[in-house]
Amino acid sequence: MIKKITTLLMILSAVITASAQYSTPGNGEVYSLDDLVLLSDDVVSFEDGAYLISEDLEISALDTLKIHQNGKLLLAPEIQITVAGVLDINAPDEFILDCSEEESKFKGIRVEQDANIFLNYTLMRNGGGIRILTGLKSVITHSEFRDNYGGVATGGVINISRGSHIIEGNIFKENETPAIGTAGNAGASAALYIANNHIEANNLSNSNRPQINIGPTGTENDTIKIINNTIIGDRGATRAGAIAVSALIGGNVRAIIQDNIIRDNRYGITIAGTNVWAEIKANIIEDNDTEGDPMLGGSGVNLLTQNPDEYDVILTENQFRRNLWGVTLQYDAEANLGDDINNPGNNVFSENGNNGEIFALYNNTSNTIMAKHNCWIENEDITLEDAEEVIYHQNDDDSLGEVIFDPVSCAILGVEDSTLSDVKIAPNPARNFIVLQGVELFDQAMIYDVKGKEVGRYVIRENSEQINFDLKTGVYFIRLQNSQQQTTKKLVVR
């Protein structure tokens, strides 16, 4: 009799376990949340103006859950959405994904192989991130990710295992994990496109990871692009870097890292691997020194690459200020910081140093490094002897390779360039207004979204001008112009 009761309990347990998830019918239909309220036997409900998911939800293969409305979806603690079909959220203004209980988190969203996810104007908070296993191209734009933890996605709020996805115009702020991470297997990030995002104070767990943490990329036709992002660290998270692209267990690194603003992290950009091609261009890399120990970090750019015949790293038009090191080369690393043929140089260095010494470039390899036409000490008309003082190479240790830095170039800003650099926007991020300062030479301001669509045009009358707007959460660009000149600044709207 005891044996029969035990068997019955096991059967009941299996039935209860099986019913702890609702799956859509799998018939190739498009469903709304209201449809799921009717079909799911109270797994999905609607009350007090919000939808509630009380058990795990699976969007079955062939099915689509389409949410093209403003509203709120609350998930019970530890509840997960699994996408085997398509999850399509495209709100007119904002759709919120949140946990149903304060001080708790839902588990997150898992996107299976051959499934897809599209998020636009979505706020995800108090969740376990999004794990993307699919090789199909997913698109995540104009969305905000805040206060998420390492649930279903432990490598980043958006954790990618394969595929070429678009992550553009989003805000990632104050999450426990990195903002974006990929797997360590070859080709995991393929031709990933990360652009125009505001990334601030992520990896609050203070683990040894950067805010953008990318594994091996794809073939020579699959280049990851990290472009025009703002990546700001929390100075209390002393182990969190800004960007790393690495192929430490095999595979390729092919990356364009351009026009990013990188501040207040443990380090700026790290590239590691054996088969590397990278262009690091026109980035502003400042004050990346949060750990404080120069033996553990603090480089504006750090190259830990091997087999120099198999890679090419180009640095041009970057600005390095107040990092513990400007550029550091380790192992067999090789880089081109400027030559007389293909790379104009024009990198600018200022006050990158530690322990009372300045290190604009530290060549800790036996390779000869080309580094012509750079400004080694900003705002000074420097000599070769001045440049020699801030470059560590064969002249300082005869076991090291030589840095060829003749000629040096420090073009002083003209009046026009200086005026453009004086333009300030505050607050930024903003909600419904900004104040422009230093704009006396301009007569118009235009605001554009990340796709280049004009969303506002304003007349400038004073040197300090307030602009009021009603914009959705996301990243925008504000162009100031007159009949002869213009400048463009990034604007983040919450």
What the chain holds in terms of domains, given with CATH numbers, is: 423-493 (2.60.40.1930)
Written as six digits, the tokens of 476 are 């925008």
Residue 154 has a pLDDT of: 95
The helices-and-strands tally (H runs, E runs) of the chain is: 4, 47
Residue 420 has a pLDDT of: 54
Q: Is 458 exposed, middle or buried (0-12, 13-18, 19+ CB in 10 A)?
A: middle
Residue 392 has a pLDDT of: 98
Which are the contacts of 16, defined by CB distance < 8 A and separation ≥ 6? none
Residue 119 has a pLDDT of: 98
User: Residues of the chain whose pLDDT is less than 70?
Assistant: 1-20, 185-189, 220, 308-311, 411-421
Per the listing, tokens 């125009």 go with 196
CA distance linking residue 158 with residue 156, whole number of Å: 5
Full-prediction pTM beyond 0.85? yes
Give the SS3 label for residue 316.
strand
Give the DSSP letter of residue 252. Answer: B
CA distance linking residue 48 with residue 181, whole number of Å: 36
Per the listing, tokens 């700001």 go with 232
Instruction: Please answer whether residues 154 and 124 qualify as being in contact, where contact means their C-beta atoms are separated by less than 8 angstroms.
Output: no
Residue 308 has a pLDDT of: 62
φ, ψ (nearest 5 deg) of residue 419: -65, -45
Whole-number Cα distances in Å, 95 to 72, 115, 224, 447: 6, 21, 29, 23
Q: Is 14 exposed, middle or buried (0-12, 13-18, 19+ CB in 10 A)?
A: exposed
Residue 5 has a pLDDT of: 39
Strands 64-67 vs 30-31: parallel, antiparallel or unpaired: parallel
Buried b (16+ CB within 10 A) or exposed e, 462-491: eeebebebebbbbbbbbbbbeeeeebebbb
